[in-house]
Amino acid sequence: MTHMGEAAFRSRVLILAPVGRDAALTGSVLDRGGVESVVCSELHELQRNLVEGAGAAVVTEEALIGQDISGLVEWVAHQPSWSDFPFIILLEPGASAEACSQERDALQQSGNLNLLERPVGTATLVSAVRAALRARWRQYEVHDALEALTASERRYRTLAEALPQLVWTSQPDGQRDYFSRQWVEYTGIPEEEQLRFAWLDKVVHPQDRERVRERWMAAVTPALRVIDNPSRTMTSPEPKVRLLIAAPSGAPGRPG
- Domain residue limits, the chain: 4-146, 163-244
Highest mean pLDDT, choosing among 21-25, 150-154, 165-169, 212-216: 21-25
Q: Domain 4-146 is of which CATH architecture?
A: 3-Layer(aba) Sandwich (3.40)
Cis peptide before 255 (omega within 30 of 0): no
pLDDT per residue as tens digits for the range 120-140:
999 999 999 999 999 999 999
Between 2 and 45, the higher pLDDT residue: 45
d(CA 89, CA 111): 11
Kindly tell me if the per-residue pLDDT of 85 is higher than 90. yes
Between 29-33, 167-171, 188-192, 233-237, the lowest mean confidence (pLDDT) is in: 233-237
* pLDDT computed for residue 122 by the predictor: 94
Mean pLDDT, range 70-87, rounded to an integer: 94
Kindly tell me if the per-residue pLDDT of 4 is higher than 50. no
* pLDDT computed for residue 75 by the predictor: 95
Phi-psi region of 46 (alpha: psi -120 to 50; beta: other; left: phi over 0): alpha
pLDDT per residue as tens digits for the range 47-78:
999 999 999 999 999 999 999 999 999 999 99
Q: What is the pTM of this model?
A: 0.63
